Chain A
Amino acid sequence: MKLLLRFNPEIIKKPIIAETVLETGILLDIERARVEGPKGEIVLNVPDDNCRQVVDILKRKKVDVVRLDVPITKDEENCVHCGACVAVCPVGAIAFEYDWRVRMDEKACVQCGNCVTACPVKVIRLSDN
């Protein structure tokens, strides 16, 4: 399960992820981290079984946690299958199919946003709710 964590300015300097790992003993995989001005965002990949526990702890530490069931979406009907999004994906989550349609593997996405800006017809959206 992927989780989007948002840190507000009060807690951004605290070692929250490290604390959570120590407290739970669960290895948290950080897929993406971005700090812009006083705010921070992290996307975590958490083993499904431990998800509840991790979410509870993070919430207690005042982190805003959003479950990313579908980290990214592509409007199939309006995609022109150009491929502008394919090679810019750092994890190879987007590929051409045998018939040159462009397919996206939502599960592999780490939400870097490269494809969102690369798409000339604006049919890719990062989900954050």
Chain B
Amino acid sequence: MVRRTIEEINDKIRDGSVNVVTAEEMTTLAQELGVKEAAKQVDVVTTGTFGAMCSSGVFFNFGHSDPPIKMQKVWMNDVEAYTGIAAVDAYLGATQLSETKGMEYGGSHVIEDLLQGKEIWLKATAYGTDCYPRKRIDTSITLDDMNTATMVNPRNAYQKYNSATNCSSKTIYTYMGTLLPNCGNVAYSGAGVLSPLSNDPGYRTIGIGTRIFLGGAQGYVVSEGTQHSPSGGFGTLMVTGDLKKMSREYIRAAAFYKYGTTMYVGLGIPIPILDDEIAKATAVSDADITTTVYDYSTPRRNKPALRDVTYEELKSGMIDLNGKEVRTSSLSSFYKARQVASELKAQIKKGKFFLSLPAQTIQAQGSSKPMKQTLEMPLIKDVMAPVATITLGFSVHEAAKKIIQDKFNHLPVVDENSRLVGIVTSWDVSKALALSKSDKLAPIMTRNVITVAPDDPADLAVRLLEKHNISALPVIDKDKKVLGIVTGEGLSKLISRGVQP
């Protein structure tokens, strides 16, 4: 049974005799020699991750202008930073979007520009007080010009993460990247065997005050991260570090198409091997870490789970989904995660990085709760209207009659088993009549109908109508039977009446 203290390890770092391996190397070593022997040989295991971490940002102190200003609103390169704090302090979040460049440029890009030594444009407005008379400032500054630039990332280093696919028939663009239709790909995130929290799931050595590698500099764990949910394996950390000491090698701006911006953060944590139990935790392998594949085409909190999967399977490049081989690829970089773990290992070996004991431990149990919603959410079944349908065999003429008689603008088309196969609008029908096009419904109907289910939230209908620029959505049940219709008009009436069904 091995027992070591942090002080003993730090002494070894000082005299250069410390034995450090990366978490990947530790797994191999433990498999070859057994955990006990590996624990004897190894003093420190380094971990690393390099992934998209939306919950990241920087507190800046810009220094005082003359005359001084109490910044009420502030923009850095047209990206708004939060200022409800002292006069010339602001927090810039990685996902805040530029007011002029939209989704291509956001807080993370400002941070990357600063790291590259670029000048950024600082603009602020204020209401003016006796002590802070100034109402506006425009200036260009660099990272060197700031007094402090302290990175504070409220939620980083997820222990593991969901993997995502898309069972619908249209490509979707999410924070899990591009998801091709009909389960065309699976996207996953997290560093698996190198993931810091997967190597110390009991939070024995990672706690408040633990010194870590953050963005190329030395940083610290502030506390558990927001939405910390360790019982399910979704623990997170709030971390901090000095942006001025960081490097672009480990902090990169990112933009997910049609989703927005985020920041790639390189984060590594050294784990001191204090005893056999900790050694055992660091011997974890990709085959031991399991996550779940969810269907991200359901834009609800509870997405349908398709199957459980290990990081070993995900990293093989292919998994089986309902009998079909589907290609997998990551969003976080395993290559860079390795670089983080190796860099941290090198720094410890060179005597540049010492280990610290947590000042306070972090909860290793517990889970985050969903939001409490006091207003009941209207569902599609509460807002849908009845609708007439027409069977595929009928003629355009009959469709026209039906539209006039029932005063509907949209006519879902069904097959002989009353299953939805298409939709025609009054416009389609009048056009066909005016041009005396074929008398059949099939050539004029839209086949790829966007639909909703009765238990979907009404908000989803609003989003779909806008996204596809259409005016109505048939409501169908599991067997594709038409139950009703939701129209833009119907929804806006509901909203204008302020009805909360």
A residues near B (Cβ < 8 Å) are: 80-88, 92, 95-96, 99-102, 114, 117-118, 120-122
Contacts and interface: CB of A to CB of B under 8 A. Distances in A.
Contacts, number: 80
Given A88-B185, A117-B178, A83 B256 contact: no
B383 to A, nearest CB: 34
A86 B187 CA distance: 10
B254 A120 contact: yes
Nearest to A102: B335
Interface in B245-270: 252-257, 262, 264
Given A80-B335, A87-B186, 9 more contacts: A80-B252, A81-B336, A84-B329, A85-B329, A87-B327, A88-B178, A99-B335, A100-B335, A120-B262
Contact of A120 (B177, B186, B329, B336): B177
Smallest CB-CB A-B distances: 5 pairs: A86-B329, A120-B254, A87-B329, A87-B185, A81-B335
Given A117-B257, A121-B253, A84 B334 contact: no
Interface string B178-203: 10100011110000000000000000
Given A82-B264, A82-B333, A118-B257, A87 B52 contact: no
Contacts of B333: 80-83, 100
Nearest to A120: B254
A81 B332 CA distance: 8
Contact of A121 (B254, B317, B329, B338): B254
B50 interface: yes
B252 A83 contact: no
Contacts of B327: 86-87, 92
Interface in B324-364: 327-336, 338
A121 B317 CA distance: 22
Contacts of A102: 335
Contacts of B256: 120
Interface in B65-120: none
A84 B256 CA distance: 10
Q: Which of B253, B254, B329, B334 has the most CB of A within 10 A?
A: B329
A38 to B, nearest CB: 20
B197 to A, nearest CB: 20
Given A81-B333, A83-B333, A86-B327, A118 B254 contact: no
Contacts of A117: 173, 178, 257
B180 A120 contact: no
